[in-house]
Structure 1
């Protein structure tokens, strides 16, 4: 959500101005009507210069999850000790090593001094603070439990970091091997095969089909490498642009979840993040419909995000969480049964945490077996490459040496 500046009139016709948060100007207008105010003008609040400085800085370092975890724990300690929020943020500016985060903290301090609430000040930096982060801080402000909010956020971000590190560790080995194969094929095509081509050209003999194919591919690479490089670059740029579109992002997200070997792991990791985020938001007091709207933007997958929004719409129309979750087709029967029991017993947040832990255990187990599953595929690929090279390069050399010996 973002902030909107509004002008309105009350029942007596008196002019009023103020700031409200909402998904769209229409949502803000609806809030005003419910408050017996007639909106006259609703405009988005412009971001201040310090925020633009962060967004436009090409060489500014990003804020990592480790730094956000440390920030949350520091804020929790300061709030627990009774330090005012303004003084707490001011003290953290001097100890923060990341210049991007330091600039953001300075802007937050300026906003608080000008009378803006903390969650609205954080919302000016969407590249650093997620919608879930901002919503939980908003609830923490309204309930006077900011210390608990920052502690919960620290735990959530630590689990998020751990999951990302597991995925990176599991995919590092196969990606390194595939990169090495690509580099080896480029070297063979540009330097190795042309050397053999000169040797084969000295003999007036018919070469095997595999050898002729290798020589043709090598010659094509040498003659057209600038065009190939430009074509690959253009294709990657076009793919990147297409993914940023609404339809392209949706199709790409669905394809990623159906990728062999890793698709089901990514799906479980995203669903685990969704369940934990929803449980955390509900425990913090965020309304369910608002929580689903916020979480749909933090799962980083357009396909699952649309399913979450369909859950929100179903719940808004009076359906239960279990029914709307079943209609998405994302959850297993066991998980749906746990959600249904949670609704009946009034402990949905506890059951969602159990569900999140269930998915996280499965992700941990699948990631541990990922290398074992990918290794045979890599061995087969390397074996095929060696076989092609053996048939295309060494077989004609053997035939030519045999012909020379017979002479």
Structure 2
């Protein structure tokens, strides 16, 4: 393993560098052998190191790793041996380094939850909290199985979202490309022949010529303006206040707003369900569940709900005051809270929200695809008619 260190020498000078070692203890020992006093030591890949910049494991590999670890732990294999087995079978060097570091932390007496916390980009707070709860309750194997199931469902939703968006985006790009090609190259060449004849051109042809000229003159400046506007918008969205306003505005969009809301609520309900089922306290589970959401406004509202629960409010009332939940979801959570089956009701709510998300996405794509085709066909038809009308007029005159 490679460590980045800060140390001081005998003259009191502070030095920085990197050192190779099998464990943090060995790294400190090697620094002392060089007559250096270690001040800080950081595993390359655990925080700001270069392995962290490039993910040691992909999401699919992390899910498979979690599933394999759950199987080994459930088979009563000691945790250190299970981690060693996973380390030996991992083909990616960065992933093997990460597993070796986790195993070393466990051998030094650290809990698995503390060891995986060194890689927050791969093991988010949800993983850390559930693993900690599993270690405390002695149900680490079953908790890891739930984590693997959760990861698989999350990846399936992302895959469906990607598959649903690929075709409309490609269709839009092709449509814009064809129209731009016609306006910038084909139209000027064809229409120029009619201009030399000094005949009165039809209104559609004159309009097409005007549009073509403006596109050729303004295309590059407009592209630069759009790029500048996109850069400014990206900069503004880095500020929490503007990002919160934008995320709140997205929820007001006709179809996309419902899709964003259903996706975030499904993720929240499923996260809260598996945390509660893993013996994580409800209040802690609500805070962790809010952190996994992508929409800042929804996250803020659910964190306010957690504060109301901390002040003594019921879960149903606290979530109802956010005005985000659908009537069905409110009813199911209220039923689960009153009957003591909150875990199963949250799981069912998550399933319902997932289905609603898929339905809304399917509806949006089914509406968008024919709309793009119709718009493209109308534009191309206008271009063709604008070019054909002078030709027909010329044929009539010569006839």
TM-score with structure 1 setting the length: 0.80
Aligned equivalents of 1:177 and 1:376: distance in 2?
10
Match of 2:227 among 233, 238, 248: 233
CA deviation map 1:141-190 (0-9, x unaligned): 22222111110001111111111122222222222211111111221232
Match of 1:339 in 2: 333
SS in 2 for 1:50: coil
Aligned equivalents of 1:82 and 1:342: distance in 2?
34
My pick for the range that moved more, 184-193 or 201-210, is 201-210
**Following TM superposition, by how much is the alpha carbon of 1:368 offset from its aligned partner in structure 2, in angstroms?**
4.2
Contact 1:54 1:100 (C-alpha < 8 Å) held by counterparts: no
Match of 1:53 in 2: 49
Gaps of at least 5 residues in structure 2 are 1-39
**Following TM superposition, by how much is the alpha carbon of 1:352 offset from its aligned partner in structure 2, in angstroms?**
0.8
Q: 1:261-272, aligned counterparts within 5 Å?
A: 261-272=255-266
Aligned equivalents of 1:310 and 1:220: distance in 2?
51
1:73 and 2:67 correspond: yes
Q: 1:33-48, aligned counterparts within 5 Å?
A: 48=43
Match of 2:189 among 171, 195, 201: 195
Label 1:61 to 1:131 Cα distance change in 2 as closer, same or farther (>3 A). Answer: closer
Label 1:351 to 1:238 Cα distance change in 2 as closer, same or farther (>3 A). Answer: same
CA deviation map 1:53-92 (0-9, x unaligned): 34664xx467433212201111011111222222322322
Match of 1:164 in 2: 158
Match of 2:110 among 116, 120, 124: 116
Gaps of at least 5 residues in structure 1 are 1-44
Match of 2:376 in 1: 382
Label 1:193 to 1:69 Cα distance change in 2 as closer, same or farther (>3 A). Answer: same
Match of 1:363 in 2: 357
Aligned equivalents of 2:312 and 2:212: distance in 1?
65
Contact 1:166 1:367 (C-alpha < 8 Å) held by counterparts: no
Contact 2:269 2:350 (C-alpha < 8 Å) held by counterparts: yes
Contact 1:170 1:370 (C-alpha < 8 Å) held by counterparts: no
CA deviation map 1:217-260 (0-9, x unaligned): 43344345443333332222222222332123223323333333
**Following TM superposition, by how much is the alpha carbon of 1:193 offset from its aligned partner in structure 2, in angstroms?**
1.9
**Following TM superposition, by how much is the alpha carbon of 1:282 offset from its aligned partner in structure 2, in angstroms?**
0.5
Aligned equivalents of 1:90 and 1:215: distance in 2?
71
